Chain A
Amino acid sequence: MPEPSQTSSEPSAYATEDSWSIEDLIDFEYAARLEARQDEAEIQQRDKGVRERLKARPTSLKRNRVLLKHWLQKIREDSFPKNTKAGSFFTSSFSFVSKACAFVSVGLGAVLAASLLRYDGIQAVNVSAYIGLFIILQLALALLSTLLVLLPSKSGNRLNRFLGISSLLTIALRLFSYLSKAIESKLKGKHRNALEELEGSLESLARQHARLMRWLAFSAIQRWALAFNCGVLVATLAIIAFSDRAFGWQTTLDLAPEFVYQAIRASSFPWSWAFGEGTGFPSLADIEGSRIVLKDGMRALRSDALVSWWSYLCLGVISYGLIPRLAFAIFGQRQSRLVLRSHSFDDATASAIANRIRGLNIGFESDCEAKREISHDANSQGEIESPRSVKGRTLCLAVGDFKVDSIQSRIASNLHVPLENVEMHRFDSLSDLHRSDSIEQMLDDFRNIVLLHPAWLPPIEETKETISLLRSHSNADTLITLLLAGMPAADEYEIPTPESLNAWRSFVRKQGDPYLAMQELAP
Chain B
Amino acid sequence: MTEQSIPVFAIVGHPNEGKSSVVSTLTENDRIGISPFPGETIRNERFSLKIDQQTIIQFVDTPGFQNPSRTLSWFQSSGLTGVEAVSAFREAHASSPAFDHDCELLEPLSRGAGILFVADASRPVSQSDREEMEILRLIGNPRMAILNPKSDRERFLDDWKNAFRQTFNAIRSFDACKANFENRIDLLEALKSIEQDWSPQLEYAIKRLREERERKTWLCVDIACELLERSLGLKLSKLTSRESDAKKAQSELEMKYRERLASIEQQSWNRLLSEFGHSKLSLSAPENELLSEDLFSDQTWQALGLTRKQLAIAAAGLGAGVGAGLDLALGGIAFGVFTATAAATVAGAALFKGKELARMKIKRIPLGSYKVRVGPNRNEQFPYILLDRFLMFHRAVAKRSHARQDREARLDDEQAKQGVCSQWSSDRRSLYARVFKAMRSERGDSLEKLRNDFRKLLFDSLNEEPST
Report A's interface with B, CB cutoff 8 A.
Answer: 184-185, 188-190, 192-193, 400-401, 428-432, 434, 454, 456-462, 464-465, 487-488, 499, 502-503, 506
Residues from chain A with a CB closer than 8 A to the CB of B39 are: 189, 192-193, 458
Cβ distance A73 to chain B, nearest Cβ, rounded Å:
36
Residues from chain B with a CB closer than 8 A to the CB of A460 are: 14-15, 64-68, 128
A429 lies within 8 A of B131 (CB): yes
Residues from chain A with a CB closer than 8 A to the CB of B72 are: 431
B35 lies within 8 A of A488 (CB): no
Cβ distance A199 to chain B, nearest Cβ, rounded Å:
14
In B195-248, the 8 Å CB interface with A consists of none
A401 lies within 8 A of B124 (CB): yes
Residues from chain B with a CB closer than 8 A to the CB of A499 are: 36-37
Partner of B33, one of A189, A429, A430, A503: A189
In B43-89, the 8 Å CB interface with A consists of 43, 64-70, 72-73
Given contacts A190-B37, A503-B37, A506-B37, contact A429 B69 (CB under 8 A): yes
List 10 A-B residue pairs with CB atoms under 8 Å apart, sorted by A's residue number.
A429-B69, A429-B131, A454-B124, A457-B126, A461-B67, A461-B101, A462-B69, A487-B153, A488-B124, A503-B38
Query: Which A residue sits closest to B34, measured CB to CB?
Result: A189
Residues from chain B with a CB closer than 8 A to the CB of A429 are: 69, 127-128, 131
Instruction: Tell yes or no: B172 within 8 A of A by CB.
Output: no
Instruction: Tell yes or no: B16 within 8 A of A by CB.
Output: yes
Instruction: Tell yes or no: B328 within 8 A of A by CB.
Output: no
Query: Which A residue sits closest to B35, measured CB to CB?
Result: A189
Residues from chain A with a CB closer than 8 A to the CB of B38 are: 458-459, 503
Instruction: Tell yes or no: B40 within 8 A of A by CB.
Output: yes
In B268-312, the 8 Å CB interface with A consists of none
How would you classify the secondary structure of chain A's contact residues: helix, strand, loop or mixed?
A: helix
Partner of A431, one of B14, B16, B65, B69: B69
Residues from chain B with a CB closer than 8 A to the CB of A502 are: 37
| C-alpha spacing A428/B70, complex, angstroms | 14
Cβ distance A66 to chain B, nearest Cβ, rounded Å:
38
Partner of B66, one of A184, A434, A461: A461
B35 lies within 8 A of A400 (CB): no
Residues from chain B with a CB closer than 8 A to the CB of A458 are: 14-16, 38-39, 64
Residues from chain A with a CB closer than 8 A to the CB of B70 are: 431, 462
How would you classify the secondary structure of chain B's contact residues: helix, strand, loop or mixed?
A: loop
Ranked nearest first, the 6 interchain pairs of A and B with the lowest CB-CB distance are A431-B69, A461-B66, A189-B40, A458-B38, A429-B127, A189-B35
Instruction: Tell yes or no: B98 within 8 A of A by CB.
Output: yes
Cβ distance A377 to chain B, nearest Cβ, rounded Å:
43
Contacts beyond the supplied A431-B69, A434-B69: 8 A-B pairs with Cβ under 8 Å: A185-B42, A429-B131, A430-B128, A457-B126, A460-B66, A460-B67, A461-B98, A487-B123
Cβ distance A154 to chain B, nearest Cβ, rounded Å:
30
Cβ distance A296 to chain B, nearest Cβ, rounded Å:
69
B33 lies within 8 A of A457 (CB): no
Query: Which B residue sits closest to A499, measured CB to CB?
Result: B36
| C-alpha spacing A499/B36, complex, angstroms | 7
Query: Which B residue sits closest to A494, measured CB to CB?
Result: B153
Query: Which A residue sits closest to B65, measured CB to CB?
Result: A460
B14 lies within 8 A of A457 (CB): yes
Question: B115-130 vs A: 1/0 string, CB under 8 Å?
Answer: 0000000011011100
Query: Which B residue sits closest to A459, measured CB to CB?
Result: B38
Query: Which B residue sits closest to A454, measured CB to CB?
Result: B126
Query: Which B residue sits closest to A506, measured CB to CB?
Result: B37
| C-alpha spacing A166/B72, complex, angstroms | 41
B37 lies within 8 A of A189 (CB): yes
Residues from chain B with a CB closer than 8 A to the CB of A465 are: 67, 98
Given contacts A188-B33, A458-B16, contact A428 B127 (CB under 8 A): yes
Cβ distance B395 to chain A, nearest Cβ, rounded Å:
30
Query: Which B residue sits closest to A193, measured CB to CB?
Result: B37
Cβ distance A494 to chain B, nearest Cβ, rounded Å:
10
Residues from chain B with a CB closer than 8 A to the CB of A190 are: 35, 37
| C-alpha spacing A188/B41, complex, angstroms | 9
Query: Which A residue sits closest to B98, measured CB to CB?
Result: A461
Cβ distance B171 to chain A, nearest Cβ, rounded Å:
21
In B72-115, the 8 Å CB interface with A consists of 72-73, 98-99, 101
| C-alpha spacing A502/B38, complex, angstroms | 10
Residues from chain A with a CB closer than 8 A to the CB of B36 are: 499
Residues from chain B with a CB closer than 8 A to the CB of A428 are: 127
| C-alpha spacing A506/B127, complex, angstroms | 23
| C-alpha spacing A431/B130, complex, angstroms | 13
- Interface centre among A428, A462, A503, by most B CB within 10 Å? A462
Residues from chain B with a CB closer than 8 A to the CB of A454 are: 124, 126
| C-alpha spacing A509/B287, complex, angstroms | 45
A185 lies within 8 A of B37 (CB): no
Residues from chain B with a CB closer than 8 A to the CB of A503 are: 16, 37-38
Query: Which A residue sits closest to B40, measured CB to CB?
Result: A189
| C-alpha spacing A429/B73, complex, angstroms | 12
Query: Which B residue sits closest to A497, measured CB to CB?
Result: B151
| C-alpha spacing A464/B67, complex, angstroms | 10
Query: Which A residue sits closest to B69, measured CB to CB?
Result: A431
Residues from chain A with a CB closer than 8 A to the CB of B69 are: 429-432, 434, 462
Residues from chain A with a CB closer than 8 A to the CB of B16 are: 458, 503
Cβ distance B154 to chain A, nearest Cβ, rounded Å:
13
B43 lies within 8 A of A462 (CB): no
| C-alpha spacing A462/B153, complex, angstroms | 28
| C-alpha spacing A454/B14, complex, angstroms | 14
Residues from chain B with a CB closer than 8 A to the CB of A457 are: 14, 123, 126, 128
| C-alpha spacing A499/B151, complex, angstroms | 13
Cβ distance B121 to chain A, nearest Cβ, rounded Å:
12
Given contacts A429-B131, A458-B15, A462-B66, contact A400 B33 (CB under 8 A): no
